[in-house]
Amino acid sequence: MIRRVTSPALFPPPTYSHASVVEAGTRIAFLAGSVPLDGEGNIVGEGDPVRQAEQVIANLGEQLRAVGSDLAHVLSTDVYVVSSDTAVLSAVWEVVEASGLSVGPHSSTLLGVACLGYTGQLVEITATAAVPGENSESDESDESGGSEARA
């Protein structure tokens, strides 16, 4: 069971939850940072954080498929962007929102950083996801509104 929680005592987040709670018995995948590299190891979208974010999301989707999960089962992310400009951070977040990651919504932190691991890399996303299957439930509820949705 995945429960998305938004605390009524805190400012309501626009497209993410304050916390995701997973009950015992659910399989969890902790994913390495997804980076904007193609299959040959080349940076995609050099100089373009939006294009890099799109590639990062595509690569994250591949990581999730490899463990039997998908974007809808992501519990939390950290989104790293090489920029101190809030407009650039917002542009990358728009890609995250459009990807299906904000469905749920998952818990997330958006960070502006000085640099990332690959030369020319502007975006990276780390994620934790539930892996649906025999030993895990995929029912979801949002404590702020009490609604339940099937993942």
More confident residue, 101 or 59: 59
pLDDT cut 70: percent of the chain above it: 87
Nearest to 75 by CA among 143, 149, 139, 4: 4
Nearest to 127 by CA among 51, 50, 81, 59: 59
- pLDDT of 7-20, one tens digit each? 787 777 777 777 77
CA angle 93, 29, 46 (to 5 degrees): 40
The mean pLDDT of 34-39, rounded to a whole number, is 94
How far apart are the C-alpha atoms of 144 and 13, rounded to whole Å?
A: 11
Which ranges constitute the DSSP H helices of 4-126?
Answer: 49-66, 86-99
The whole-chain average pLDDT of the chain stands at: 84
Query: Which pLDDT does position 135 carry in this prediction?
Result: 55
Whether residue 25 has pLDDT greater than 80: yes
